[in-house]
Amino acid sequence: MKKILMIIGGVVVVLLVCAGGFIYYQFQTSDQFVCESESGTITLLYDEDSINGYMANGISYDLEAQKAYAKQVGIEVYLKEFNEFFQANMNGTCHKK
């Protein structure tokens, strides 16, 4: 029984390390668009074609719907519109990182 628990624990640790590595890789290989306000912050990860992910604090974000819209209008137009929306509705600022 103890051996089985150790194997399960080892598998969980390996999965956590892999997930952490994937998240680190995403942040290192993607461009970032950071928006900050008193209400919260959001960092969009993107490349020339699409949004790859995001990290938000205090702000909700529908990744799948936004990815579809960004693909439809193009990433530069999306970022411009998101910036305008964020400034008007969140009283914040956005910048590329």
Q: Where do we find the tokens 């150790």?
A: 6
Taking CA atoms, 35 is separated from 9, 59, 77, 82, in Å, by 38, 10, 16, 9
Amino acid 43: pLDDT = 93
Helix (H, G, I), strand (E, B) or coil at 25: helix
> Tens of pLDDT along 45-58?
998 888 988 989 98
> Tens of pLDDT along 30-79?
789 999 999 899 999 998 888 988 989 988 899 999 999 999 999 999 99
Q: Say what the pTM is.
A: 0.68
The 10 Å Cβ neighbour count of residue 83 is 17
User: For 92, phi and psi rounded to 5 degrees?
Assistant: -125, -175
Q: Is the pLDDT of residue 16 over 80?
A: no
Q: Which of 25, 21, 41 is nearest to 33 (CA)?
A: 41
